[in-house]
Amino acid sequence: MKLLDIGLLSASLLLTCFTGIAQKDEQPLRLQHIPSDGVPYAQIFDSRVKDASVYQKRGNKFFFIWGATKPDPIEGVTISKYFPSYRNPERQFDIEWYKKNHPDWIIYKEDKVTPAYGYIYDYGGLVPLDVSNPEVREFYLKEFMLPAVKQGYKVVAMDNVDLGNWPGAAGKYDKGKWVQLYTGKKNDKAFQENMIGWMRYLSENLNPLGVQVAANIKANSAPNDVVLRMMHSVNIWLDENGFTHTGKNITGSNWQRQFDYLKEIALIKGYISINQVEGAVEQADPAQIEWVIANFLLTRGPQSLLAITPFIDKKAIYQEFHYRPEMNVNIGSPVDKAVRQKAAWTRKFTKGMVVVNPSATETVSINLPKGKWKTIGGQIKQKTIQVAPASGFVLTRL
């Protein structure tokens, strides 16, 4: 413990120094280099990307890495350090270490015996911590995050920031006595408030250092007002559902929920839209790729980024770099907000427009402005366009 206390003291001094430096720069925190036109992309993990030059080779570039393996700077790309929500991120601090040093920090399930891991890996689980405890928050920040900041990471990537109590967390032991914190059920208001408070704590302490907090938040994990409060507590919303999830296009009320959140969030926050297309990205259905890009452009804000990943054998595949010609489309910058036309939505850009039909059943005929329009697939459209259910078009003005 003595060595650890020294480490915390050093981290405390480091925090003070960082804060003093950061206060000289009062510019609002933003992801760097993101253009107003085209489609800016994000890479989701990078352990299988051997050549970082791929990010900046094409017309539409990659500007952010969620969970970068190295702190090495990449020109034009913001890197983030991965952290697993409320679980201990370093395996050397295992369950036995916490039982010996901080037994009152461990969160258990309703049986009062099983740690509320959430996920179990081949090496076991990452220790679930009571992030409502101020001491835990300070320890997590100083022991794990500030060293990453010192290495050069500009964003902390907080994964699985769900407002639903999916790990089944129930309580902890304090001096051997059981303390009930949560119901153990998925919909738990105390759990929601503590998670929001945890993210707010990180933002309040890291933003003055010039470091942003990105959170993987499930949009359907709690009532809408609670989810929005969580989104507003961080700088960047990572949306793992996007508008295509597990290979299927999102439609109907689920689509509308995503759209409604983005009307409020995308204009003022960073946003990363992960879309898991069916099969390998390079061989995926062109119509699904156009749907993904059309939805992104329909809702994008100045700090929005798109990620297109494969969904193969019932599993999302991250870590790899994927690119195909359609991803290089550029219809300029948005000139207005999305507008509803019948069951579909449209948005105008300086060099084109997008059309999205989120209905799962209804085909929609949309009147086009005068002139000729070309789809990503090269089709020429005039006067009207038929938009099938769960489909979209990115149209370039000719």
- Tens digits of residue pLDDT in 270-309: 999 999 999 999 999 999 999 999 999 999 999 999 999 9
Q: Could you tell me the sign of the dihedral formed by the alpha carbons of 256, 260, 263, 269, in that order?
A: negative
With DSSP H G I counted as helix, E B as strand and the rest as coil, what are the percentages for the chain, rounded to 5? Answer: 30, 25, 45
- Tell me if 82 is assigned to some domain: yes
Residue 357, in any domain of the structure: no
Mean pLDDT of 77-102: 95
Query: Where is pLDDT greater, at 85 or 195?
Result: 195
Q: Is residue 59 assigned to a domain?
A: yes
pLDDT confidence of 27, banded at 50, 70, 90?
Answer: low
120: domain CATH number?
3.20.20.70
Kindly state the average pLDDT of the residues 86-108.
95
H helical segments located in 280-319: 286-299
Asked if the model's pLDDT at residue 65 lies above 70, the reply is yes
Tell me if 363 is assigned to some domain. Answer: no
Specify if 386 maps to a domain: no
How many domains does the chain divide into?
1
Residue 159 lies in a domain: yes
pTM of the model: 0.91
Q: Kindly report which listed range (12-26, 186-200, 366-380) carries the lowest average pLDDT score.
A: 12-26
**Mean pLDDT score of the chain:** 92
Tens of pLDDT, residues 130-145:
999 999 999 999 999 9
Residue 391 forms part of a structural domain:
no
Token pair listed for 345: 């939505």
What's the pLDDT at 4? 39
Neighbour-count burial of 242, counting CB atoms closer than 10 A to its CB (0-12 exposed, 13-18 middle, 19+ buried): buried
Domain extent, residue 53, equals: 2-330
Say if 388 falls within a structural domain: no
| Gap between the Cα atoms of 346 and 330, Å rounded | 16
Distance between CA atoms of 159 and 177, rounded to whole angstroms?
31
Mean local confidence (pLDDT), 104-130: 93
Res. 105: pLDDT tops 60: yes
